[in-house]
Structure formats: C-alpha cells, structure tokens
C-alpha cells in the first residue's frame, strides 16, 4: 500500500480520498451494527492494517469557539472504545496528523498512556481547513521524524482564545446565585462535620479591593478535634477524566486551613486528591494548585492521591478548618475545555 501511495504524486490526493472514503463507510457500518459485531472487528482490523484513520474536521471542532472563522485548536480524545492502543507506541511518539494531501498538521501529545488506554492530542485547525470542511489523517505507526512541530499548534492564536480553549471557568459568581458556570450548571452545596458550624452561605458583593460578586460563608471548625466544613459542586453529570489538568486557580480571603480538592464520589463513598493551604489574611490572595501540589495519599478524610482519582473526577471541593468569614471567587481549571465537561 505504501508503494501505491508514494507513486504518482499528482494523483496521491485523489487516491487517498478514495481509500479514506471506503474506510469511513466501513466505520459507519460498524457503528450501525453495534459493539461485538463482526463488522466492527473488521473495521478495526482494516484501520490497524493501514495504520491510519480519517477524521472529519467538522466532527472535532470545539462546540463553542470565540473565533468562528479563524484558526482554532481541537482536542482529540482516545480511549479503549475508539482506539486500539496496542497499535501505537507507549508514549504517542509514533503518531502523526496530516492533511489529505500528506502535508503535516501541527499537533501536540497532551498525554498518551497505552497501559490505561487513554490519550489526548491537541490539533491546530487552520482557517483554510475549516472552510474546506475536509478531513485529517491520523497515523500511528510513523517514525518520530515525521511528526509536525507541536510549537505551531498555538501560533497566532490570541491569548483570549487560548484561555477559552484551554481552561474552564467553574464560577465567578457574577450571576448572583449558587449555580456554577459549567455546562451542566449544577449547584454549590455545603456540609459541616459533627460539632462544626456553617452559616451565611451566599453570594454577595466583594469588598477589600476586590470587584464584582463572591461566594461568602461563615464557619467554625476546630482542626484539633478533626472538625471541618466543605463546599462542593459537580463538574459534570458523570465522572470525567482530568488527566490533562494543568492547574486550578482561584482567589480567596479568610483565615484557617484550606484544602483544594478534586473528588470522585460514587455510591456514598468519596475519594479525593487535595492540596493544603494555610491562610491567615484579610487581603485577597491568588491560589494556584498543580497536580504536583496534591498531597501524597494518606488514610485521612478519603485522600487517596492524584493518580487514584484523575481519571474519574466528579466534583471540585473546598474543605476548611478554622473559623471566621471566608470568601471565594474566580475559580478556573486549566488544561481542560468545556467540551470535557459536557
């Protein structure tokens, strides 16, 4: 097959289109037939034999895009349901993305874990590709030299668009209620342990040199006797993989011990990864939590460590120990996009 595609460069694009159309039709038949049907197995064998797959650009564009006509960056998400990880190397270094005519497309491997059968790529979609409603070619048996320069993925993308495509605003509380700003639009809830108290859980105007509205609550929880209070909100309607997490950023004012946590909660059992911040200030402070900042797993309050929860996150959670007023604002998660939470 390689020799056929290499010969006659003037016809290479047409040959590719014809082959890819056949592969796409086979894929559609396998989807209609359903999982476990022999046609589904044949489709996978065909892709693995060719070492490539066509992907329609219209199918991978972000659901929301602040720049609808210009270049953008799309995310390709892979798991065991849509990719045979045994066919690629363990780090994703054998992957390549091309146009139909063979020209390389800038992309970056966010993560690629063959053992867990999870992968994520960021792919640049230029304005000409968007306008053509064409397709891309994903290859997974290529030498490293054939990969495009990943630096080009974000070249020329404005800071505002980069922020939109590479982060999610959890809440800025400007709507004045306790419903978050995520696609699923769920509520913030509060909980207090035995003998701890929680009051004045509301949204109100900021003060102390901070503008807009903020989440406010008053609490009392004695850390010496393992008391705590917590607030949390679901990130989506079901668990999500947040392995691509870069950081959680928020603004806060108050005193006590703050645990910034990502949680997976199933059947009444809650497991968390958290980072601890001791705060004692009447001033607003910016807090940034990265995956490497999460504490090691310990047998306390369900802290099992980042690697144990990162592929099945359900909530973002804040636990506090201490007393007084506490204010939170502008909570944003970097390294994911809104489509990750739909």
Domain boundary among 157, 191, 209: 157
Residues 216 and 310 in one domain: yes
pLDDT in tens, 4-56: 333 343 444 444 444 344 343 333 323 322 222 222 223 356 676 788 999 99
Q: Is the dihedral of CA 45, 46, 47, 49 positive or negative?
A: positive
Calculate what percentage of the chain has a pLDDT beyond 70.
86
- The answer as to whether 224 is a domain residue is yes
Report the CATH number at residue 289: 2.60.120.430
Residues 300 and 191 in one domain: yes
- The answer as to whether 103 is a domain residue is yes
Q: Is the dihedral of CA 136, 140, 143, 145 positive or negative?
A: positive
- The answer as to whether 162 is a domain residue is no
Residues 205 and 297 in one domain: yes
The answer to whether residues 324 and 255 touch, using CB atoms and an 8 Å cutoff, is yes
Residues 40 and 84 in one domain: no
Domain boundary among 119, 134, 157: 157
Backbone φ and ψ for 215, nearest 5 degrees, come out as -85, 130
Structurally, how many domains does the chain consist of?
3
Residues 277 and 193 in one domain: yes
What number is the average pLDDT over the span 313-324? Answer: 95
Strand partners, 73: 124
Residues 188 and 323 in one domain: yes
Residues 206 and 303 in one domain: yes
Minimal CA–CA distance to 263: which of 239, 246, 244?
A: 239
Residues 213 and 172 in one domain: yes
b/e per residue, 92-128, with b = 16+ CB within 10 A?
Answer: bebbbbbbbeeeebbbbebebbeeeebbbbbbbbeee
Backbone φ and ψ for 7, nearest 5 degrees, come out as -80, 145
- The answer as to whether 206 is a domain residue is yes
Residues 78 and 134 in one domain: yes
Instruction: Read off the pLDDT band of 100 (50, 70, 90).
Output: very high
User: Which domain range does residue 87 map to?
Assistant: 52-157
- Give residue 4's pLDDT: 31
Residues 38 and 120 in one domain: no
SS (H, E, C) 12-41: HHHHHHHHHHHHHHHHHHHHHHCCCCHHHH
pLDDT: is 4 or 204 the higher one? 204
pLDDT in tens, 110-168: 999 999 999 999 999 999 998 888 999 999 988 876 777 888 999 999 999 999 999 99
- Give residue 64's pLDDT: 86
Residues 123 and 197 in one domain: no
- The answer as to whether 318 is a domain residue is yes
Domain boundary among 16, 35, 50: 50
- The answer as to whether 270 is a domain residue is yes
The continuous run of DSSP H or E covering 272 comes out as strand 269-289
Residues 228 and 310 in one domain: yes
- Mean pLDDT, rounded, of the chain: 85
Lowest mean pLDDT among 76-80, 120-124, 130-134, 183-187: 130-134
- Give residue 164's pLDDT: 95
- The answer as to whether 320 is a domain residue is yes
- The answer as to whether 185 is a domain residue is yes
Q: Rounded to two decimals, what is the model's pTM?
A: 0.84
């Amino acid at each position: 097959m390689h020799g056929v595609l290499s010969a006659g460069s003037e016809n290479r694009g047409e040959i590719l289109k014809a082959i890819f159309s056949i592969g796409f039709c086979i894929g559609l038949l396998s989807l209609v037939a359903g999982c476990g049907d022999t046609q589904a197995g044949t489709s996978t064998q065909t892709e693995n034999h060719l070492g490539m797959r066509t992907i329609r650009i219209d199918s991978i564009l972000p659901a929301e895009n602040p720049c609808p006509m210009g270049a953008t960056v799309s995310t390709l998400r892979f798991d065991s349901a849509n990719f045979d990880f045994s066919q690629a190397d363990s780090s994703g270094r054998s992957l390549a993305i091309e146009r139909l005519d063979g020209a390389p497309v800038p992309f970056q491997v966010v993560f690629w874990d063959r053992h867990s059968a999870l992968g994520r790529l960021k792919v640049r979609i230029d304005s000409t590709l968007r306008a053509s409603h064409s397709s891309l070619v994903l290859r997974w048996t290529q030498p490293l030299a054939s990969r495009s320069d990943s630096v080009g993925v974000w070249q020329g993308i404005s800071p505002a668009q980069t922020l939109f495509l590479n982060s999610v605003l959890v809440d800025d509380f400007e709507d004045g209620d306790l419903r978050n700003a995520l696609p699923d639009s769920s509520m913030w809830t509060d909980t207090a342990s035995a003998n701890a108290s929680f009051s004045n859980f509301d949204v109100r105007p900021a003060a102390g040199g901070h503008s807009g509205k903020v989440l406010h609550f008053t609490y009392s929880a004695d850390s010496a006797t393992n008391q705590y209070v917590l607030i949390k909100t679901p990130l989506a309607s079901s668990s999500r993989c947040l392995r691509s997490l870069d950081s959680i950023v928020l603004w806060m004012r108050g005193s006590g011990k703050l645990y910034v946590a990502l949680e997976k909660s199933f059947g009444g059992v809650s497991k968390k990864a958290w980072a601890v911040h001791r705060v004692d200030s009447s001033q607003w402070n910016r807090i940034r939590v990265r995956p490497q900042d999460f504490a090691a797993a310990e047998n306390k309050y369900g802290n099992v460590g980042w690697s144990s929860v990162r592929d099945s996150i359900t909530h973002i959670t804040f636990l506090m120990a201490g007393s007084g007023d506490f204010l939170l604002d502008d909570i944003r998660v970097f390294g994911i996009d809104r489509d990750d939470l739909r």
